[in-house]
Structure 1
Amino acid sequence: MKKLSFVLAAAGLMSLAACSKPTPAENAADNAAAALDNAAENLEDMSENTSNDMAAEALSNDAENLHDAADNVAG
C-alpha cells in the first residue's frame, strides 16, 4: 500500500511539474502587445469622431499599424 501511495504522489508531483508558467519576458511581451492594442483602439475612436476625412484616414492607418505592431510583439 505504501508503494502505491508513493507512486500516486510521484505521479501527482510530475503532473504539477509539467505545468509551465509564463516567463517574465513573455509577460512583458503580452503587456506591450496589450498596450499597443489599447493605443490602436484609441486612435480608431479618434478616427471615428473626427469630421476631417484626411485626418480620419491618417488615424485609421496609424491604428492599423499599431495593431500590426502588437501582433508582431505577441507572436
Structure 2
Amino acid sequence: MRSGDRGWDVETGSSEGISPDVLVSLAAPKQCATRFMGKHHLVAGRFLPYDVQKKFELNLPEYTGTECVVSL
C-alpha cells in the first residue's frame, strides 16, 4: 500500500481503513486471514497442482463436487 491509502493490507491486515465483511482468498488463505474478523472467508480456486501444494506445505480445504469456492 502507498502512504495515505486506506485499505486492507493483504499481508498484515489492518486496524485502520476499511473493515471488510468478506475475504476472498485466491488459491490459499493469506497471512492476513489470521486477523480477519469479518463474517465470511472464502477460498476460491482449486487449480493448484499437487507439487505446488506440497512445496509450500499448503493445507487446502476440500471442495465439494465441481465447486470452485469453499467457505471457511
The normalised TM-score by structure 2 is 0.21
Structure having the higher strand fraction is 2
Structure having the higher helix fraction is 1
The normalised TM-score by structure 1 is 0.20
Rg comparison, structure with higher value: 1
Higher relative contact order (CA 8 A, sep 6+): 1
